[in-house]
Amino acid sequence: MRIVRLVGAACLVALLAGCGTAGGPQLSAVESSANPTAGQVTKTMDAAFGDRRTWPNGLAITISQPRSQRPSSTAYPQAARAAVFELTVENGTTSTYKPSQLAIKATIGGQPAQEVVDPAQGLGGYVAAQDDLPPGRSVQLTVAFAVPQQPTDLRILVRPDVVDGAPATAFAGTA
């Protein structure tokens, strides 16, 4: 039972560490206190929508400028508007990358923004990428988040691998 609790606590700390905020120079890893109560420190790199960020192992991620779209009646969750992004993952490493390792969280004013899944409009979410990505290849995923009717500041935190502790990138801009 103790092992189960330890594993559960480790998963919780890893999840909470992915919610950190950062400020600092672009492309340099900046330490920030992600969750002072857990005693963990996470690293993030800031970026704007449209920027490409490359991790030390060669993996690169780009999140496009957003486009606005009205979700269909079958979308979940229902929202007046969705900010839609093309997320490109380029595998510049020497080994196969599993997109299932990717973690993405969006916030508006520090509050979580829900991912919109709308198969009728091709919005399957980033979890739809199941195929392994060999070295030298890339994949483009379409992701969307529920946003207010009026333009708003949106922040998307991307962590390429929640297990290995790779620094996250916070892509931000107006959506």
Per residue in 49-93, pLDDT (tens digit) is 999 999 999 999 999 999 999 999 999 999 999 999 999 999 999
| Cα 129 from Cα 146, distance rounded (Å) | 20
pLDDT exceeds cutoff 90 at 27: no
Q: In angstroms, what CA-CA distances link 175 with 57, 82, 96, 128, 155?
A: 30, 9, 33, 23, 9
| Cα 145 from Cα 77, distance rounded (Å) | 9
Q: What pTM was computed for the model?
A: 0.72
pLDDT at position 122 is 86
Confidence of residue 45 (pLDDT cuts 50, 70, 90): low
3-state per-residue secondary structure call for 131-170: CCECCCCEEEEEEEEEECCCCCEEEEEEECCCCCCCCEEE
Selected from 2.60.40.3500, 3.40.50.10490, 2.60.40.1240, 3.40.50.1980, the CATH number assigned to the domain covering 44-174 reads 2.60.40.1240
Say whether 121 sits in a helix, a strand or coil: helix
Burial grade of 122 (CB within 10 A; 0-12, 13-18, 19 or more): exposed
pLDDT exceeds cutoff 80 at 24: no
Number of Cβ within 10 Å of residue 85's Cβ equals 26
Confidence of residue 127 (pLDDT cuts 50, 70, 90): low
- Give the largest Cα separation in the chain, rounded: 49
Reported residue count of the chain is 175
